[in-house]
Amino acid sequence: MDLGIKGRRAVVCASSKGLGRGCAEALAEAGCDLVLNARGAEALEATAEHIRSTYGVNVVAVAADITTDEGRAKVLEAAGEVDILVNNAGGPPPGMWHDWEREDFIKALDANMLTPIAMIKALVPSMMDRGWGRVVNITSQSVKAPIGVLGLSNSARAGLTGYVAGTSRQVAGSGVNINNLLPGIHATDRAVALDGGVAKAQGITSEQAKIDRCKTIPAGRYGTADEFGAVCAFLCSAHAGFIVGQNVLHDGGGVNATL
């Protein structure tokens, strides 16, 4: 399918690897020029060069921490006027309710709620002026079904979801669509780390931990970054103009819910 976004300019945050990279590659395959961001300069430039050579699009790499004022300023300066924004940032650490203090919640809110809101406020006005734009926020399946040990993530991402619910409907009439993409378990470095933690705690191998977790997913496997990126690219496409303020699960059926 021609997504109708060839020549569009996209910012993809936290895109040197994992789900962010999957989104960046899918947008590049659709013909978008990219502004990529991540904290690690070496991995980011390697990803940028791979995308340039593979897809023949223009790629600007900005090594910066998107969750800081200084980092966002660097990305926004490089971005200029863009048509597509993919918000992404690593999730806060797991724990128990009694582990977290005010400072922990502030860090989670800064990374997973206030940073995407700041990027939306910075880039959406010019999209509205031009009459076209797409924003996809990578959140989590925990927005639909909160996960006990991810209380920091549950809280911050739920706040972003509420913000998007109202904002998306205020800007849709100007041709700008804002939606959230909710990943379940995917074959990324984070999944490997989580499997390793379970393996250590239970005295089993990481492979057994993965097998056990796959049994909890109706699809019977982990998702891939390529699959996730393809869904993101569709939400950014010319065909998604009537999708407004939605929370799209990409979890292999892991969340059993009708709404």
Q: What is the pLDDT of residues 134-171, one digit of tens each?
A: 999 999 999 999 988 889 999 999 999 999 999 999 99
- pLDDT at site 230: 98
Average pLDDT on 100-125 reads 97
What is the maximal distance between C-alpha atoms in the chain? 57
| Res 147: pLDDT | 87
Region of poorest pLDDT, from 11-20, 42-51, 87-96: 87-96
Residue with the larger pLDDT of the pair 12 and 194: 12
Average confidence score pLDDT of the chain: 96
**Which class for 69: exposed (0-12), middle (13-18), buried (19 or more C-beta within 10 A)?**
exposed
Note the pLDDT of residue 193.
83
Query: In terms of pLDDT, which residue wins out, 257 or 168?
Result: 168
With CA atoms as reference, report the closest residue to 134 among 36, 249, 232: 232
pLDDT for residue 216: 93
Question: How is residue 186 annotated by DSSP?
Answer: B
User: How far is C-alpha 3 from the chain's CA centre?
Assistant: 19
- Judged against a pLDDT cut of 90, whether residue 98 lies above it is answered with yes
Q: Is the pLDDT of residue 192 over 90?
A: no
Cα–Cα distance, 178 to 245 (Å, whole number): 6
Considering the entire predicted model, what is its pTM? Answer: 0.95
Query: Could you tell me which residues are beta bridge partners of residue 88?
Result: none
